[in-house]
Structures are given as C-alpha cells and as structure tokens.
Amino acid sequence: MAGELPSPAEEPAASNGGGEQCKDFQPAPEIQGEPMGSERMEVRKRQTLASQETPGSVPAQPGVGNRSPNACCFCWCCCCSCSCLTVRNQDERTRAASHELRSETIANCEESSTPTLEEVNAWAQSFDKMMRTPAGRNAFREFLRTEFSEENMLFWMACEDLKRESNKSVIEEKARLIYEDYISILSPKEVSLDSRVREVINRNMLEPNQHSFDDAQLQIYTLMHRDSYPRFMNSAIYKDLVESLSQRSAEA
C-alpha cells in the first residue's frame, strides 16, 4: 500500500549528496505527456503548508503547553521514571543518529563557490544547466524553501547520492531513509507522487538498489521543471542575484 513503511529487513536509506559529487549529474530525458497529477498535489500541499504558517491558524489546545517535557504517556508529573522513558530515550538516540547522517550530507551538498554572472544567466536558458551546478541548486533550493517545497530538491539530491553508492548495506540504509523521509505518508517531507510511481517504489523496496527511486526522481525533477522553475526565474531571489553580480562586474 502506498506510504506503508517496509519491514526492517527490506528497508534502506537516504542522504543528500555532496556538492562536488552532484556535478556528475546527467539530466534525465524530457518526459512527453507526463501525468499532471503530481503537480496538482504539489499545489494543494503548498497551499496547505502556507495556510499553516499563518499566525493564529492553529488554535491552541488548553493544558498542552503546561505538560512537563519529562512526563511519560501515562501521567502528568515531572518525576516519572517508568519504563516508557527508557524506550523513548532509545528511540530519540536512534533518531538523533539518523538526523546526523542526513544533516551532514545535506550540508556538504550546500558547499559551492559564488557563481559568475555568465553562469547565472545560463540558468535562465536551461533548467538542466541550473541543476548541474551546486550554486544553481542552492539558489533554487532557497526559492523552494519560500514555497514550502524544499523537500523536492532534497529528495532529488538524496537519489543522486544513492546512485553513487556501491556498498549493499549502505544502499539499503540510505534507501530506507529516503523512504521514511520523502515517500511515507507519515513524513512531513513527503513528496507528491502519483499512485503508479508509489507502487513501483514499494516493489523495488523488496530488494533495494541504487535505482529503486529512479521513476520517482524523474517525476519530481519534471515537477520542479514545470511547476517551480518558471516562478524561480521571475522571483526576487534570482533577480537580486543577477543584479548583485551585474554591479560587481561593472565595478571590476
């Protein structure tokens, strides 16, 4: 079933590749007649997230703010020492380890030098050209963050990183993290995929490999190209960058 987490023996993992490694990206061929369902889902998700960011949109729940952070699931006291705390602490340590792995690879992929004016102008000529450079991905990712769709870029980078892996156990762990972070319906970073692609992913997760998410990655790449890229070209983020580099070039 779509969004169902695979069993531990079948799960694997994700991270986002380093900036320098991302340079080896070979753009996928353009899809003709690609279903537009994922784009409609993306628009609805973006609108929902934007409304949740509006102050006062979520009513406060009486009493919740007064609960002690150390209280367990069975009581409201601040001195609980029952066994559920031990289980919770173990889960938190596991999540922390996974978070460190994710954060480290994401940060590495953000490393890039300041682009030249010629490079930035080339981004407007082709989405592929922009996605080939770390600086282009960083600028586009900053724009996606303002539209509450940064997870699309993070998912794409995680798939690129998975393709470069050769160790079977590492592939399984990274594939599991990709599934948990971007495919599961329980994740706040779930990307917009149609049911056909989700079925393919669930089958691939039985024996995960470097290409388990290829169909999903291509669909998200196409979604970013069609839906977000045109707005990025007209955004203040892109125009300010061009203006800044133009002034710097004129002063040189």
The DSSP result for 86-140, as a single string, is HHHHHHHHHHHHHHHHHHHHHHHHT--PPPPHHHHHHHTT-HHHHHHSHHHHHHH
> At 113, is the pLDDT very low, low, confident or very high (cuts 50, 70, 90)?
confident
Shared domain check, 241 and 157: yes
CA distance 10 to 203: 10
Shared domain check, 213 and 118: yes
Q: Is residue 3 part of a domain?
A: no
Average pLDDT over residues 242-249: 93
Q: Is residue 221 part of a domain?
A: yes
Most confident of 70-79, 108-117, 201-210: 201-210
Shared domain check, 123 and 179: yes
pLDDT recorded at residue 252: 72
CA distance 109 to 153: 11
Q: Is residue 45 part of a domain?
A: no
Shared domain check, 128 and 86: no
What are 7-59's pLDDT values in tens digits? 544 444 444 444 444 445 555 444 444 445 666 667 667 666 666 655 554 44
Q: Is residue 43 part of a domain?
A: no
pLDDT recorded at residue 178: 98
CA distance 233 to 123: 8
What are 135-158's pLDDT values in tens digits? 999 999 999 999 999 999 999 999
CA distance 110 to 238: 17
Shared domain check, 232 and 184: yes
Average pLDDT over residues 176-196: 97
Q: Bigger pLDDT: 103 or 127? A: 127
Shared domain check, 119 and 105: no
CB 191 within 8 A of CB 152: yes
Shared domain check, 195 and 142: yes
Which CATH number belongs to the domain containing residue 225 in this structure?
A: 1.10.167.10
The total number of structural domains that make up the chain: 2
Whole domain around residue 94: which residue ranges? 71-109
Shared domain check, 161 and 92: no
